[in-house]
Structure 1
Amino acid sequence: MGSASQVFSAKGLSKVYGEGETAVHALRGVDLEVAPGEFIVLLGASGSGKSTLLNILGGLDIPSGGELHFADHRLSGASEAELTRYRREHVGFVFQFYNLIPSLTVRENIALVTDIASHPMPVDEAISMVGLLPRADHFPAQLSGGEQQRVAIARAIVKRPELLLCDEPTGALDYQTGKLVLEVIAGVNQQLGTTAIVITHNAAIAAMADRVIYLGDGLIQRIERNARKLKPSELSW
C-alpha cells in the first residue's frame, strides 16, 4: 500500500508503446514519492518521458509495469471506471491548450465542472482566485491567451482537487503573461495546499519548485531540492 503521508508512491513504473523492434520505451523504471502540498517541476527534453509520467499520475494513461498508489488508492491495475472516478474526484488538469468551450462564458465554462464534483467551491470564488471576476461574463474569443489559460486553471481548481497537473502551462504565452499564470498556480498550491506538478521546457521555472525532477530517456536522472523557492515575479528567462 502507498503511505498515507505521501500523495504518490511509484515503484518501477514503466511504459512501453508498441511491440517488438518498433516498441518505444517511454518510461524505464521510475521510482518517485510525492508529499502532500509539494510543488514539483518536471524538466526534460522532448521524449524524456515527462508527459507520459504526468499522464500516468493523472490517470489518463496506465503503466505497462510497476506499482503506483495515490494516497490509499492503487492506480496500477485500476479499471477504466476507477481511473475515471479518480480523475473526477482528485485531479485538476491544465494543458498548454485551453480547451474552453467557445459558446460558453467564463462562468459557464467553469460551472460545467461543478456538476460532476462532490464538494466544489463557488464558481465566482474560483474565478476570483485567478483574478478574472470582471471578465466572468465574457466568451473565450473576447479573452487574451493568458486570460484563457487562467480560466482553464479556475476550471481545474473549482472542484478542489488534491492534485493540479500542468503540462507546459506557459508554453503558448509570452514572458509577462506566463509569469501571471505561474503566480496563479503558485497561489493555488499555497492557499489551497494543492499538490502541484508542472511540466515545462523552461528551466527558469524550476526555481519556484520545492523539488525539480530531471527526466531523460525514460528515467529520473536526478532530483534537486531548492533551498529557497523563488516567487514567479523573481524569475527571469
Structure 2
Amino acid sequence: MAETTTNRDRSTAQPAFRATGLRKTYDMGETQVHALRGVDLEIGAGEVLVLLGPSGSGKSTLLNIVGALDRPTAGQLWYEDTELTALNDHALTRFRRAHVGFIFQFYNLIPSLTAEENVRLVTDIATDPMPAAEALELVGLGDRRAHFPAQLSGGEQQRVAVARAIAKRPHVLFCDEPTGALDSKTGIKVLETLANANAELGATLIIITHNAGIAGMADRVFNFLDGRIASIEVNETRIAPSEISW
C-alpha cells in the first residue's frame, strides 16, 4: 500500500488521548518499583505511534493504562473529553468495549473455534460490528474463515487476531509486540494489515515493539527509558511496511 500521509496532516486532529503526570508504582514487598515516573503526552486521533525502549522501561505499563486495562498510581488521563482516570471499573469496561481493540504477541485464539467463530466472539458483544467474514476479508483471510487455528500458520493466526480486534470498528488499536513471534516476511504482512486498519477505519494505532525498523511506519516514535519518555522522533513521511528493514 502506498503511504503518503505525513505527520503534519495529523497535527490538526483532536487528540485521542491526553495525559499529565502519569505515574505507576508497584509495591514488591519492602521495595517500590516505579514503572512510570510522570509521563505527559498527547496522541492524535488517527495517529500511528510506535513505542520503543528496553524491557522494563514502561512501554507496556503505559499501554495498559491508556487502554484502560490498569490504573495509574497518580496523574490524569483523558480520551477525547472523557477523563478515564475518573471512571469506575464498570465504565472503563464499557469504554474498552466501545472504543478499543487489543492485539498481543500471542494470538489467544480458541483452538476449538474456526477463524470466523473466533472473530465472532467480539462481534457478538460489540455495538456496531462489521460481519466476522468481512473482517477476515480485510486481513486477507476470507478463504480461511472455516479453518481452525491449528490449520493456520503463525502469521495467519495473528491476522485472525487482528481481524478480531478490528471487527468491532475500534477507534484505537493497541498492539503489544504484534510481530514478536513472527519472521520478517510474515511480520510485514501483519504490519500491512495494521496499516490498512489505520487507513480504512481511521483507527489510532499504538504499537509496542523491540524492532526499531518498525518505527519508520509511524507518525511519531516515543523512546522510553526508566519509566519516562526520553525522546520523541517525528517522521515527516511514513514508510510502507514493505519498505521496513527487519
Question: Normalising by structure 2, what TM-score?
Answer: 0.93
Amino acid in structure 2 at the alignment position of 1:80: D
The match for 1:16 is: 25
The match for 1:184 is: 193
Aligned equivalents of 1:181, 1:20: Cα separation in 2: 40
Say if 2:100 is the partner of 1:75.
no
The match for 1:132 is: 141
Aligned pairs, number: 234
The match for 1:100 is: 109
Matches within 5 A, 1:31-110: 31-110=40-119
Q: How far 1:210 moved relative to its partner?
A: 0.3
Q: How far 1:77 moved relative to its partner?
A: 3.2
Q: CA RMSD in A?
A: 1.1
- Please identify, of 52-61 and 14-23, the stretch whose mean Cα deviation from structure 2 is larger: 14-23
Q: How far 1:82 moved relative to its partner?
A: 1.1
- What SS class does the counterpart of residue 120 from structure 1 fall into? coil
TM-superposition CA deviations, 1:58-108 (whole Å, max 9, x none)? 111000000000112211132111111111111000000000010000010
- Please identify, of 222-231 and 199-208, the stretch whose mean Cα deviation from structure 2 is larger: 222-231
Q: How far 1:19 moved relative to its partner?
A: 6.0
Relative distance call for 1:196 and 1:142 in structure 2 (3 A) is same
Unaligned runs of 5+ in 2: 1-12
- What SS class does the counterpart of residue 23 from structure 1 fall into? strand
Amino acid in structure 1 at the alignment position of 2:80: A
The match for 1:199 is: 208
Aligned equivalents of 1:200, 1:113: Cα separation in 2: 25
Aligned equivalents of 1:217, 1:20: Cα separation in 2: 20
Identity among equivalent pairs (%): 63
- What SS class does the counterpart of residue 170 from structure 2 fall into? coil
Aligned equivalents of 1:141, 1:72: Cα separation in 2: 43
Aligned equivalents of 1:163, 1:228: Cα separation in 2: 21
Say if 2:189 is the partner of 1:215.
no
Aligned equivalents of 2:81, 2:160: Cα separation in 1: 31
Aligned equivalents of 1:114, 1:56: Cα separation in 2: 24
Amino acid in structure 2 at the alignment position of 1:162: H
Say if 2:20 is the partner of 1:29.
no
Question: Normalising by structure 1, what TM-score?
Answer: 0.97
Aligned equivalents of 2:238, 2:193: Cα separation in 1: 15
Unaligned runs of 5+ in 1: none
Q: How far 1:179 moved relative to its partner?
A: 0.5
Aligned equivalents of 1:192, 1:174: Cα separation in 2: 26
Amino acid in structure 1 at the alignment position of 2:86: G
